[in-house]
Amino acid sequence: MTHPLRIGVAGLGTVGASVLKLVQRRANDLAATAGRAVRVTAVSARDRRRDRGVDLSGYQWFDDPAALAAANDIDCVVELIGGDEGPARQTVETALSSGKHVVTANKALLAKHGVALARMAEDRNVALAFEASAAGGVPVVKTLREALAGNVVTRVSGILNGTCNYILSRMELEGLTFDECLKDAQRLGFAEADPTFDVGGFDTAHKLAVLTSLAFGVKIDADAIHVEGISSITPLDLKMADELGYRIKLLGVAERTAAGVEQRVHPTMAAKSSSIAQVMGVLNAVTIDADAVRSVTLIGPGAGGDPTASAVLSDIADVARGLHGAPFGKPVDLLDDPARAPMQRHEGGYYVRLTVVDRPGSMAKIATRMGDHQISLESILQKGKGPRGGDGATVPVILITHATSEAAIRAALDEAQGDGVVTEPPQVIRIER
């Protein structure tokens, strides 16, 4: 019988503690499917004494995760530290360079160093497995790399951050402010240690970078992603979206366009009838459009201990069975370096909320600027009105445009602001039809 797979877990936060419990719970089935025992033998974390609800006495303890990664009696390192540099990078590089398999949930590390790390894994013929890095418990990495290998993928889009979806859902359903909802997300433990990673759109961007590489067979290019977060979304935007038949979702979208690969993360008006708009709370969803299968949507928990541990276990099971190929599907040398489609070339409909000076002629000026840039308006809504006779009073005005380009909308809005009829930076939300 093959010797047991000896695992070292580096990082014992919510996910790490769940991984220890799940490996214990599933030990018999893992052994049966892999034909060998699977055991966690060593762990590393910052604070040995913290109560994690799991007995650590049976594991060898390392204060330094890189020392765990270098230890001779470990076959596979599970990196759950997080961060794109420092201990996480050192741990993964040490493990790979000493010929150990690596399982990681670290999307930030992959977004920044994924190409170099994949090359290290390929050179040493070991696994670099990262099912847990995108959409938590939703098995989207293997779906793209393995289950859809017979397809040309044209578009990947989805809700990839549970914190943002939770905040937007509660703002919509309960009329709460952004700040009130963010505090609850932190209390419930699914926001990142630094919540600006979540609400600023960067966590979504890291996950999108991983999915783009797998979907299109290209090198990870996280710097090419246009990123906007959700902190500027107001209860009024959510109310207007509802009246207009939309829900606001933070989407990550990657698609092949004539100008190259477009990658973008931003709040989006999604039609209420679309499947993505039904996904509420901490859930994630990913839609993959491809030639043969047409369209597949996966929905499930994108954050939290057990769901993320579920994804980690699927990678551990592969390592135990000896299943590993090129981390991004194709060997690194065969991954393309595609052109970046600039955001200014993006085309679609737009929701624009303007704070407009309430006096005759204001709307005419704005409409003229839109017309100058060939932007066709589908509807104009004015909400409320300023105090009677008040000089300098403003009103919120909502414009919905037909399809136009990002460059046109930005130019028209810059000019409208220059005309002095718009008093605050416009709120611009792209519409996905």
Cβ at position 139, least distance to ligand HSE in Å: 15
Residue with tokens 């010797």: 3
Q: Give the nearer residue to ligand HSE in terms of CB position, either 162 or 426.
A: 162
Other Cβ atoms less than 10 A from the Cβ of 36: the count is 17
Could you give the maximum distance between any two Cα atoms of the chain, in Å?
88
Q: Give the nearer residue to ligand HSE in terms of CB position, either 44 or 163.
A: 163
Cβ at position 282, least distance to ligand HSE in Å: 7
Is 163 within 8 Å of 281 (Cβ atoms)?
no
Cβ at position 95, least distance to ligand HSE in Å: 21
Q: What is each CA distance from 92 to 130, 171, 230, 313, 318, in whole angstroms?
A: 12, 39, 32, 18, 18
Q: Give the nearer residue to ligand HSE in terms of CB position, either 191 or 343.
A: 191
Cβ at position 303, least distance to ligand HSE in Å: 3
Contacts with ligand HSE in 346-365 (CB under 6 A)?
A: none
Give, as one character, the DSSP assignment of residue 386.
P
List the x/- string, 28-67, binding to ligand HSE by CB under 6 A.
Answer: ----------------------------------------
Q: Give the nearer residue to ligand HSE in terms of CB position, either 157 or 161.
A: 161
Residue with tokens 């040995």: 48
Instruction: Judge whether 219 counts as a catalytic residue.
Output: no
Contacts with ligand HSE in 138-197 (CB under 6 A)?
A: 161-163, 190-192
Q: Should residue 302 be labelled a site residue for ligand HSE when binding is judged by CB under 6 A?
A: yes
Instruction: Return the closest-CA partner of residue 395 out of 415, 418, 366.
Output: 366
Strands (E) located in 16-152 = 38-44, 60-62, 76-79, 101-104, 128-129
Is 267 within 8 Å of 431 (Cβ atoms)?
no
Cβ at position 356, least distance to ligand HSE in Å: 35
Q: Give the nearer residue to ligand HSE in terms of CB position, either 165 or 405.
A: 165
Which one among 141, 303, 332, 416 touches ligand HSE, defined by CB under 6 A? Answer: 303
State how far the Cα of 11 lies from the Cα of 243, in Å rounded to an integer: 46
Cβ at position 406, least distance to ligand HSE in Å: 27
Q: Which one is catalytic: 207, 219, 239, 383?
A: 207
Q: Give the nearer residue to ligand HSE in terms of CB position, either 65 or 201.
A: 201
State how far the Cα of 312 lies from the Cα of 106, in Å rounded to an integer: 11
State how far the Cα of 138 lies from the Cα of 304, in Å rounded to an integer: 12
Contacts with ligand HSE in 201-230 (CB under 6 A)?
A: 203
State how far the Cα of 147 lies from the Cα of 158, in Å rounded to an integer: 18
Q: Give the nearer residue to ligand HSE in terms of CB position, either 279 or 352.
A: 279
Cβ at position 46, least distance to ligand HSE in Å: 19
Spell out the alpha helix ranges (H) of 373-425. Answer: 406-418
CA-based radius of gyration for the chain: 24
Other Cβ atoms less than 10 A from the Cβ of 174: the count is 10
Strand pairing category for 427-432 and 260-271: parallel
Contacts with ligand HSE in 89-128 (CB under 6 A)?
A: none
State how far the Cα of 12 lies from the Cα of 22, in Å rounded to an integer: 13
Counting residues that bind ligand HSE (by CB under 6 A) gives 10
Q: Which residues are the active-site residues?
A: 207
Binding site for ligand HSE (CB under 6 A): 161-163, 190-192, 198, 203, 302-303
